[in-house]
Amino acid sequence: MSDKKILRALKKKNWNEIKTADSWAIFKVMAEMVDGFEKLAKIGPCVSIFGSARTPEENEYYHLAKDIGSKLVKTGYGVITGGGPGIMEAGNKGANLENGVSVGLNIDLPFEQSNNIYIDQDKLLNFDYFFVRKVMFVKYSQGFIVMPGGFGTLDELFEALTLIQTDKIGKFPIVLVGTSYWSGLVDWIKNVMLEKEKNISPEDLDLFIIVDTADEAVDAIDNFYKKYSLSPNF
C-alpha cells in the first residue's frame, strides 16, 4: 500500500486496510534480507567504518577515515560503510584508492540523499528499513571502527555493544577513534553508568577501546584476532 493510500485509510479510520498493509510489509522486509544475505555473503572479510554524514572533506576525521580505509585494505580487509557522504565517503574512498573491496549499505536520510561514488557498484545495497541494514552490518563485519558521528553512529555503536554484552553475537573488536571526541561519553559510562548506578559490569568496559591514529585502529582489529587465535569469519 502506498503512503497516500495509508493516509486515506487513516482519514476514513479503515483499520482493516491498514492492518493488511502492515502484513504485506513483511514481504518487503524479507526481500531486503534476502538481497542483503545473497550479496554480502560474497564480499570476504570486511570492517565497518561508522561516522557522521556531515563531516566535510577538509575535516581531520575525514582524512583519518580515508587513511583507515586504505590501511584496512592493505591489511587484507574490505570496508563497509553506510554508503553516504562524510565519514562514510572517506572510508569507501580509502578502500577504493587501494583497489580493495568497498561496500555501501545505503539508506535514504536527510543528509544522505545518494550514495557516494567510491562504492563498488556490485556491492551497493539500498535499504528502506534501518533494522535490516543493521543486521547486515553486524553479520558481515569483522569489526567496527567508530569515528565521530551523531545519533545514528551512537545507535550502531550501542546496538553492537548490547548484542555482545548479552551474548546474542560473538565478541568482535569495537574501536572508537578520537579521544577528544569520545572521552566525555566514556567518562560518563565509567563514572555514572558503572560506578554510581552500577547499571553495567566492569568487564563491559573491555568491549571497546579508544585510539587516535589510523595505525592504532587497524592494529586493534588485527590484534584482536591474533590474541584470540581467531580468523575473520569467511
Number of domains comprising the chain: 2
State the pLDDT at residue 226: 84
| 87 inside domain | yes
State the pLDDT at residue 26: 85
**72 shares a domain with 16:** no
Mean pLDDT of 201-210: 97
State the pLDDT at residue 109: 74
**52 shares a domain with 25:** no
| 102 inside domain | yes
| 234 inside domain | no
| 161 inside domain | yes
Tell me, what CATH number does 195's domain have? Answer: 3.40.50.450
State the pLDDT at residue 124: 96
State the pLDDT at residue 88: 97
**67 shares a domain with 15:** no
Give per-residue pLDDT as tens, 94-121: 999 999 999 999 997 766 668 999 999 9
| 232 inside domain | no
**51 shares a domain with 118:** yes
| 127 inside domain | yes
Domain range for 170 is: 45-227
**206 shares a domain with 137:** yes
User: How far apart are alpha carbons 138 and 47 in whole angstroms?
Assistant: 10
**136 shares a domain with 37:** no
| 233 inside domain | no
Give 110 or 233, the one with higher predicted confidence. Answer: 110
Could you please report the per-residue DSSP string of 109-146?
A: BTTBSS--TTS-GGGEEEES-HHHHHHHHHHT-S-EEE
**61 shares a domain with 37:** no
% of the chain residues with pLDDT over 90? 80
| 80 inside domain | yes
> Smallest Cα–Cα separation from 77: which of 228, 229, 217?
217
**184 shares a domain with 115:** yes
What average pLDDT is seen over the chain? 90
* pLDDT band, very low/low/confident/very high, at 3 (cuts 50, 70, 90): low
User: How far apart are alpha carbons 137 and 161 in whole angstroms?
Assistant: 13
**157 shares a domain with 77:** yes
**85 shares a domain with 165:** yes
Largest CA distance in the chain: 61
Give 183 or 232, the one with higher predicted confidence. Answer: 183
